[in-house]
C-alpha cells in the first residue's frame, strides 16, 4: 500500500459500533470486491470494498469478514478469512498478507485461510438466528455486474433458507455517515494532496496546453505524494465545461477560454472532491468574472447553510433560489420568465441542473441517509455551478466541507478560490 499504516484502533472501534446495532444472536458477513476483467486475459486494478475496509482495514481480494458477537466460542466472535499465500502467487502477483500482518492491520485475532470458511461458517449458521448480508444500496447505483457479496447472498439463502435475514447496508450507511477523527485526518490528507496538485496546475496552464497534459500534471503531484485520483478527472476547457461528466480530456486549451477542473485526490481510500474554474490566459474576462463571482457567492451561501438539523432537500432549494437570483443579475433570466415558468421545470434548470452537494468519505458519492437531517460529523461536498451553453461558458466551484455543531469547517479553505488570488498565482509563474 502507498500510504502509512492506519492504527488498527480505528477498525476495532468501527466493528464495536456495528456490534452495538446488531440484533442478539446475529452474524454479519462482508466480502471483498472481485478483481474485474477487461478483455482477453486483462484485469482492472482491484478497488477495495469500502465496507470491508471500514471494518477491517483489509484491501486484499477474496477476503471474508465474519462477525458473531454472541458466539459461544470466543474465537468465533470476530473472524477474518484470507487467501492463503503460496510461492507461486508470490512470484506472479506479489506479496499476500500473512496471518500476523492481517492481525496487526485489522486488530482481529482470529485469522483463517479461505479453505476453512465452509466448515466454520456452517457451524455458526447452525447456532445463530439472524444473518446480516451486504449489498450495494446507494440510491444512484447501477449494478450490472454481479458482485461477490451478491453471489454470497444467493448461495447463503439457498443453503440456509429458514434463517432471519437482514440488510447490513442500512447499518453501514448509518455508521459511515458520521466520520471519526481518524477518518477526518485521512480526508484532510487527501485534501492537502489535492491542494498541491491545484497549485502546481496554476503554474502550468497557458494557451496551447492540452487537457491531457493538465491531467498528467495532477497525476504527477498526486502519485508522488502517495495519493491517487479520487475519480476520473474532469478537465474541461471552453464548451467542454458545459458537459457535467466530461472525461475525454483531449482538447487544446485556447486563449480566452475558461478551464473547469473537477479533480481531487484520494489517500488511504478516503476521498476529497474539488472543482475550480480558471482562466487559460491567466485573467478572467469581464463576463467570465461576472459568472465566476456569481457562483462564488452561491458557493459561500451553501457552505454557510450546512447546519445540523437541516434536510438536504431544504439545502438544495436554498441553493437553487440563490442561483436564480444570480441568473437574474447576470441577465440570463428575467422576472417574466420566472413568473411564467413551469414549476415542474423551473427556468433556472437551463443553467443549473444538478445537486449542490453529496456526502463523501470512503466513496466519492458516499453512503448515508440524505432524507434525514444533517448531523455533526458528516462530510459534504458543496458544488454549485452555472453553465451558459449559448456562450460556451461553464463555471463550477466545489470544496469538501465538514458539518459541526459550531458551524461548517471548510477542509479546503487553504486552496485558492478568489478570482484575484487565482490570477495572481497564474501570473507569478
277-336 per-position pLDDT tens digit:
999 999 999 999 999 999 999 999 999 999 999 999 999 999 999 999 999 999 999 999
Claim: this prediction has a pTM higher than 0.75: yes
Whether residue 163 is predicted with pLDDT greater than 80 in this model: the reply is: yes
pLDDT at 186: 98
pLDDT at 371: 95
Taking all residues of the chain, what is their mean pLDDT, rounded to a whole number?
A: 97
Give 295-331 as a DSSP string: HHHHHHHHHHT--TT--HHHHHHHHHHHHHHHHHHTT
Whether residue 429 is predicted with pLDDT greater than 90 in this model: the reply is: no
Whether residue 1 is predicted with pLDDT greater than 80 in this model: the reply is: no
Q: How far is the CA of 134 from the CAs of 23, 147, 167, 223, 264, in angstroms? A: 15, 10, 6, 32, 29
Other beta carbons less than 10 A from residue 23's beta carbon: 14
**314 touches 302 (CB < 8 A):** no
Whether residue 157 is predicted with pLDDT greater than 80 in this model: the reply is: yes
Number of residues assigned to the chain: 429
Give 88-154 as a DSSP string: HHHHHT-----HHHHHHHH--SEEEEGGGHHHHHHHHHTT-SEEEE-----TT----S--HHHHHHH
CA distance 84 to 188: 35
79-113 per-position pLDDT tens digit:
999 999 999 999 999 999 999 999 999 999 999 99
Above pLDDT 90, what percent of the chain?
99
Q: What's the rounded mean pLDDT across residues 117-121?
A: 98
The secondary structure of residue 417, as a DSSP letter, is -
Confidence of residue 412 (pLDDT cuts 50, 70, 90): very high
For 242, the grid coordinates are 458545459
Tell me the sheet residues that pair with 342.
345
CA dihedral 259, 265, 271, 276 (to 10 degrees): -20
Give 227-248 as a DSSP string: -EESS--EEEEGGGGGSTT---
3-state SS class at 374: coil
pLDDT at 414: 98
Whether residue 210 is predicted with pLDDT greater than 70 in this model: the reply is: yes
The secondary structure of residue 343, as a DSSP letter, is T
Whether residue 2 is predicted with pLDDT greater than 90 in this model: the reply is: no
Instruction: Single out the residue of 384, 401, 235 nearest to residue 318, CA to CA.
Output: 384
29-50 per-position pLDDT tens digit:
999 999 999 999 999 999 999 9
Confidence of residue 193 (pLDDT cuts 50, 70, 90): very high
pLDDT at 162: 98
Of 169-173, 339-343, 401-405, the one with minimum mean pLDDT is 339-343
Domains of the chain: residue spans and CATH: 9-176 (3.40.350.10), 181-428 (3.90.230.10)
Above pLDDT 70, what percent of the chain?
100
CA distance 5 to 2: 9
Amino acid at each position: 500500500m502507498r500510504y502509512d499504516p492506519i492504527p488498527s484502533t480505528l477498525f476495532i472501534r468501527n466493528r464495536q459500533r456495528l456490534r452495538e446495532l446488531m440484533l442478539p444472536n446475529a452474524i454479519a458477513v462482508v466480502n471483498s470486491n472481485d478483481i474485474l476483467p477487461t478483455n482477453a486475459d486483462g484485469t482492472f486494478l482491484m478497488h477495495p470494498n469500502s465496507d470491508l475496509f471500514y471494518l477491517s482495514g483489509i484491501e486484499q481480494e477474496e477476503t471474508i469478514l465474519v462477525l458473531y458477537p454472541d458466539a459461544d466460542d470466543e474465537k468465533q466472535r470476530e473472524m477474518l478469512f484470507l487467501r492463503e499465500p503460496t510461492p507461486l502467487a508470490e512470484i506472479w502477483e506479489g506479496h499476500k498478507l500473512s496471518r500476523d500482518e492481517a492481525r496487526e492491520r485489522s486488530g482481529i485475532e482470529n485469522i483463517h485461510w479461505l479453505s476453512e470458511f465452509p466448515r466454520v461458517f456452517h457451524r455458526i449458521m447452525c447456532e445463530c438466528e439472524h444473518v446480516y448480508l451486504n449489498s450495494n444500496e446507494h440510491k444512484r447505483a447501477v449494478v450490472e455486474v454481479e458482485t461477490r457479496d451478491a453471489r454470497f447472498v444467493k448461495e447463503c439463502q439457498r443453503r440456509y433458507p429458514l434463517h432471519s435475514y437482514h440488510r447490513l447496508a442500512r447499518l453501514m450507511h448509518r455508521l459511515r455517515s458520521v466520520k471519526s477523527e481518524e477518518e477526518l485526518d485521512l480526508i484532510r490528507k487527501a485534501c492537502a494532496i489535492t491542494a498541491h496538485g491545484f497549485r502546481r496546475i496554476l503554474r502550468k496552464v497557458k494557451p496551447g496546453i492540452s487537457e491531457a497534459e493538465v491531467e498528467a500534471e495532477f497525476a504527477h503531484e498526486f502519485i508522488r505524494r502517495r495519493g491517487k485520483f479520487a475519480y476520473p478527472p474532469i478537465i474541461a476547457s471552453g464548451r467542454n465545461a458545459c458537459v457535467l461528466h466530461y472525461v475525454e480530456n483531449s482538447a487544446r486549451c485556447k486563449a480566452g477560454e475558461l478551464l473547469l477542473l473537477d479533480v481531487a485526490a484520494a489517500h488511504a481510500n478516503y476521498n476529497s472532491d474539488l472543482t475550480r474554474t480558471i482562466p487559460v490566459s491567466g485573467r478572467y474576462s469581464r463576463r467570465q468574472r461576472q459568472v465566476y463571482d456569481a457562483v462564488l457567492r452561491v458557493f459561500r451561501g451553501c457552505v454557510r447553510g450546512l447546519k445540523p438539523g437541516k434536510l438536504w432537500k431544504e439545502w438544495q432549494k436554498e441553493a437553487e433560489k440563490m442561483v436564480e437570483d444570480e441568473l437574474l443579475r447576470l441577465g440570463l433570466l428575467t422576472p417574466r420568465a420566472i413568473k411564467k415558468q413551469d414549476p415542474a421545470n423551473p427556468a433556472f434548470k437551463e443553467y443549473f441542473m444538478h445537486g449542490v452537494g453529496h456526502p463523501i468519505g470512503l466513496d466519492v458519492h458516499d453512503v448515508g441517509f440524505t432524507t434525514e437531517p444533517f448531523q455533526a460529523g458528516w462530510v459534504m461536498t458543496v458544488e454549485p455551478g452555472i453553465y451558459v451553453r449559448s456562450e460556451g461558458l461553464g463555471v463550477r466551484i466545489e470544496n469538501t466541507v465538514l458539518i459541526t455543531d459550531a458551524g461548517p469547517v471548510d477542509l479546503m479553505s487553504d486552496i485558492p478560490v478568489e478570482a484575484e488570488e487565482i490570477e495572481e498565482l497564474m501570473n507569478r509563474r
